[in-house]
Amino acid sequence: MSLLVAPSILAADFSKLQKEVEMLNNSAADYIHVDIMDGVFVPNISFGIPVTEAIQRHAKKPLDVHLMIVNPDHYLEAFRNAGADTISVHYEACTHLHRTIQAIHKLGAHAGVAINPHTPIAMLEDIIVDVDLVCVMSVNPGFGGQKFIENTYSKVTRLKELILKKGSSAKIEVDGGVNLDNAQKLGASGADILVAGSFVFSSPDPSLTIATLKKS
Quick one: three-class SS letters along the chain? CCCEEEEEHHHCCHHHHHHHHHHHHCCCCCCEEEEEEECCCCCCECCCHHHHHHHHHHCCCCEEEEEECCCHHHHHHHHHHCCEEEEEEEHHHCCCHHHHHHHHHHCCCEEEEEECCCCCHHHHCCCHHHCCEEEEECCCCCCCCCCCCCCHHHHHHHHHHHHHHHCCCCEEEEECCCCCCCHHHHHHHCCCEEEECHHHHCCCCHHHHHHHHHHC
Ligand-binding site membership of 30 (annotated)? no
Rule CB under 6 A: choose which of 71, 116, 146, 212 binds ligand DX5.
Answer: 146
* Cβ distance to ligand DX5 smaller for residue 5 or 139: 139
Catalytic residue among 30, 64, 132, 175: 175
Rule CB under 6 A: choose which of 3, 4, 5, 8 binds ligand DX5.
Answer: 8
Chain residues in the site for Zn ion (CB under 5 A): 35, 66, 175
Ligand-binding site membership of 112 (annotated)? no
Does 199 participate in binding ligand DX5 (rule CB under 6 A)? yes
Determine whether 35 is an active site residue: yes
Determine whether 126 is an active site residue: no
The residue range among 69-77, 98-106, 136-144, 166-174 that interacts with ligand DX5, by the rule CB under 6 A, is 136-144
Binding site for ligand DX5 (CB under 6 A): 8, 10-11, 33, 35, 66, 139, 141-146, 175-178, 195-199
Q: Active-site residues: which are they?
A: 35, 175
